Amino acid sequence: MPHVVDHIWFLLLSVLFPLYGRFFGYARLLRAAPEDLPRVRRRLYRSGMLLQWTLTALTLAIWVWAGRPADALGLVPHSNSAFWATAVVIALGVLAGLVQRKRILGDPNALARIRRQFGSIERMIPHDREELSLFLRLSLTAGICEELLYRGYVICYLAAWMPSLAALFVASAIFGIGHSYQGASGVVKTGLIGLGLGAIYLYTRSLYLGMIMHALIDMYSGHLGQAAFSQPAEARVATAPGGAETPTAV
């Protein structure tokens, strides 16, 4: 059964950490003047990495202090049929993503759609190669740390009170709400992604494939976003259906 420290830690991960991200993290980007935005964005990437690694280290410390096995946190790889079947599916998804990425990068209309899709969180998206480099490191951090925190620790904590499947749904909802800065649609999308990553965890009994997939999803989004928003203003024109030229939202 969880200790008192687990109750406190669950509260921090499910409520306080998301509130911090929404009102003290992303809010800094919203308040930043346009000329100051690149500096604030890079600082936010770095602070995000530091915070997530700190939370992960403390979670592992709690786990070791409580004398719990690494396998219960999903940190033991299981080379079984479930693992390899999921690995093949992920590999096929990566190949499909690379093909799609190549097509999008060569299509101004597709890049315009990316700008529209990311319009509400443009300030969070990397805009140049230096920012992209930081964002890729942040993506790797999120892949490792958020999987351990929200799939490993949170699901295990909730499973002490409810069936594992129910714990998966609750943990996915918490994960989605933690991305409330992306708006209602972002909460739903990230919640569904969390549900899929959690299903991988429960199916393979290991976090590692989910970590890889999570990091790749974030890297893919960051790369496409950087490609779309780094275009010069004169290139940000999409051909609308019917042939009309319309400026896209930036």
Yes or no: say if 168 and 78 are a contact pair by the CB < 8 Å rule: no
Q: What's CA 231's distance to the chain center, in Å?
A: 24
Rg (CA), the chain: 19
Dist CA 99 CA 109 (whole Å): 17
Q: C-alpha distances in angstroms, 225 versus 24, 107, 147, 194?
A: 23, 14, 23, 21
Helix, strand, coil shares of the chain as percentages rounded to 5? 80, 0, 20
In the chain, DSSP assigns E strands to 237-239, 245-247
Question: C-alpha distances in angstroms, 21 versus 44, 79, 99, 152, 177?
Answer: 10, 36, 33, 20, 11
The HSE-up count of residue 49 (CA atoms within 13 Å, CB side) is 15
CB 105 within 8 A of CB 111: yes
Burial of 103 (0-12, 13-18, 19+ CB in 10 A): exposed
Spatial separation of the C-alpha atoms in residues 48 and 180, rounded to whole Å: 16
Q: What's the CA gap between 174 and 191, in Å, rounded? A: 8
pLDDT for res 2: 84
The per-residue pLDDT for range 8-28, each reduced to its tens digit, is 999 999 988 888 877 777 888
Sequential pLDDT tens for the chain (250 residues): 688 999 999 999 998 888 887 777 788 888 899 899 999 999 999 999 999 999 999 999 999 999 999 999 999 988 889 999 999 999 999 999 999 999 999 999 999 999 998 888 899 999 999 999 999 999 999 999 999 999 999 999 999 999 999 999 999 999 999 888 888 888 999 999 999 999 999 999 999 999 999 999 999 999 999 999 987 655 555 443 333 332 323 2
Angle (CA) 26-41-121 rounded to 5° is 50
Nearest to 47 by CA among 138, 181, 126, 177: 138
Judge if pTM exceeds 0.75: yes
Over residues 42-64, the pLDDT tens digits come to 999 999 999 999 999 999 999 99
Query: Of 132, 152, 130, 151, whose CA–CA distance to 140 is shortest?
Result: 132
